[in-house]
Amino acid sequence: MKKRILSGMRPTGKLHLGHLVGALDNWKRLQDEFECFFMVADWHALMSEYEDPKDLKNNIIDNVVDWIACGISTEKSVIFVQSQVKEHLELYMAFSLITPLGLLERCPTYKEQLREIKNRDLKTFAFLGYPVLQAADIMLYKAQNVPVGEDQLAHLELTRQIVRKFNNLYKRDFFPEPKALLTQTKRLLGLDARKMSKSYNNYIALSEEPEVIRKKVQSMFTDPTRIKVSDPGHPEKCNVHNYYAVFTPQRAKEIEALCRQSQIGCTECKKEMAGIIIEFLAPIQERRNKLLKDKAGVTDILEAGRKKAEAVAAKTMSEVKKLINL
């Protein structure tokens, strides 16, 4: 029997290269080894976007199309939308009963987001409970593993705490304690060398036009100590070089030597990188555009995913209801 994994993404905007290198490539590889559930976390998106939800539906379709274009298979994996499986909210409530407030108030991601995100009112009841819904997402499918980035480790730890308490109170070993799968080794930063993110506007979208990619790559920060072309460069201090390491490790070695010996200028180096990204994204964009021409087909995929997810979710929830005497 294959072990099960569940992971999710919030549909808050277009997916970009950071999502591909940081998550989707990983998901794609895991599909053969695990039984995979990949979820569009639309309730989680609404926890921060509730004041302006107009793009939500579009983002859901757009993101799912990108997942499939990047190689997430509708045959191998279950692709579904959180809000379409109502059991997520039921288990969220059951977990809320037993989650101590202090655990949520002390959660480092919660405190950080309240501090950092100024353009939204996140002082809501739902946002405090964000990790409780995430715990329900995972445990509804009794997933043993959760592929996530490091930023999600605190939420996974909270999930384990909730699970331990649930098992202690109602039934030993009912839920497995899920573990993070931190297999991602590559890391792609944004154009300004901060984390690639919509809110920093430093990303290259998977759907980006070639002209825009060329412009964006030319705007990237390079080795700040290299002023003239004749100055030797330090590729280890250069984000563009890191892009080479991620997309073409072989060429990265050559670029490293050329850069150190001042045999290539940054403009030329970035022009070549733009070409590499454009070529890399071309087949993904071709599949993407095909899928977008048939939106009814995408809806059908999500309906099939909903059915499969719901079958598992309903079974877990009926067991849970028995355990808590509902």
Chain contacts with ligand SF4 (rule: CB under 6 A): 222-223, 226, 233, 235, 238, 240-241, 255, 259, 264, 266, 269-270
266, 226 contact by CB (below 8 A): yes
CB nearer ligand TRP, residue 189 or residue 213: 189
DSSP sequence for 215-240: HHHHT----TT--STTSPP-GGG-HH
Among 57, 58, 113, CA closest to 83: 57
- 255 or 312, CB closer to ligand SF4? 255
Residue 84 as a binder of ligand TRP (CB under 6 A): the answer is: no
Query: Applying CB under 6 A, does 8 fall inside the site for ligand TRP?
Result: yes
Nearer to ligand TRP, 24 or 148 (CB): 148
Is residue 107 within 8 Å of residue 128, measured between CB atoms?
A: no
The correct pick among 14, 19, 44, 226 for binding ligand TRP (CB under 6 A) is: 44
Measured CA to CA, the distance from residue 310 to residue 86 in angstroms comes to 8
22 near ligand TRP, judged by CB under 6 A? no
Nearer to ligand SF4, 156 or 188 (CB): 188
Q: How far is the CB of 23 from ligand TRP (least distance, A)?
A: 8
Half-sphere exposure of 237 (CA within 13 A, CB side): 11
Choices 89-97, 146-154, 183-191, 197-205 (CB under 6 A): range interacting with ligand TRP: 146-154
Asked if residue 178 binds ligand TRP (CB under 6 A), the reply is no
Q: How far is the CB of 66 from ligand TRP (least distance, A)?
A: 15
Decide whether 258 or 304 has the Cβ nearer to ligand SF4: 258
And the tokens for 106? 């002390």
What radius of gyration, in Å, describes the C-alpha atoms of the chain? 22
191 binds, among ligand SF4, ligand TRP, none (CB under 5 to 8 A by kind): none
Any alpha helices (H) in the chain, and if so which ranges?
17-19, 25-30, 42-49, 56-69, 87-98, 101-106, 108-116, 125-128, 130-139, 153-170, 210-218, 239-247, 249-260, 266-292, 295-323
Length of the chain: 326
Binding site for ligand TRP (CB under 6 A): 6-10, 41, 44, 134, 137-138, 146, 148, 152
